Amino acid sequence: MTISPKPASRHPANALPKSRNLTEVAHRVTREMRQARNAHRGGVLWFTGLSGSGKSTLAMELERRLFERGYQVFVLDGDNLRTGLNRDLGFSAADRDENIRRVGEVAGLFAEAGMIVISAFISPYRDGRARAREAAGDFHEVWIQTPLEVCEERDPKGLYRKARAGEIRDFTGISAPYEPPEAPEVVVETAGRSVDDCAALLVEYVDATFKLPDVEP
């Protein structure tokens, strides 16, 4: 029997597990094999922006369009994951960091499996997004850039109204900070632009970035 060598860890060197009695097992299906099967690279499109900026709307529309074009694609949405994987977390700075750490790890696994992962999270802190980038590997930060006043005017979930009334603590943009990306791979300005226009811009980016040369997805 052949013993597979220990794979190179995709985890940051400083992110040591609590137990040292662990040995990572090498897959016999490589990332390159999965990419060849899918006709595109795996990777993470990390949507960040204020509540009401349009992250979830654009993520779901992009997922639909990419799926129709033959991409293996899946959305990890902030509210959806907080009802399951991250249901034990609140909205303190520490819990927000842990929320993003977990999602970065999950997104990295999806990407390693050859999929394009669209992560839609406020993810307000630069340090948190940097850790997600490190964990996920092929990471593309997409800033859904929408002014606070526009987000507050939209207020699709009524959260800004509650935050202004003091009913929600630690609400990003009102009583908690949002740190804008400093060097995102993509900036999508949604104010005054349709969902169709914004989604078309993102499809163009995915085609140029993830599709393998001379292969239709």
Amino acid 184: pLDDT: 96
Amino acid 203: pLDDT: 97
Amino acid 97: pLDDT: 79
Counting every residue written for the chain, the total comes to 217
Ranges of the chain with pLDDT below 70 = 1-19, 21-23, 78, 214-217
pLDDT digits (tens, 9 = 90+) for 86-102: 788 877 778 877 878 88
Closest listed residue to residue 110, CA positions, set 85, 76, 141: 76
pLDDT digits (tens, 9 = 90+) for 13-50: 455 556 676 667 777 778 888 888 888 999 999 999 99
Residues designated as active site:
123
Amino acid 193: pLDDT: 94
Amino acid 16: pLDDT: 55
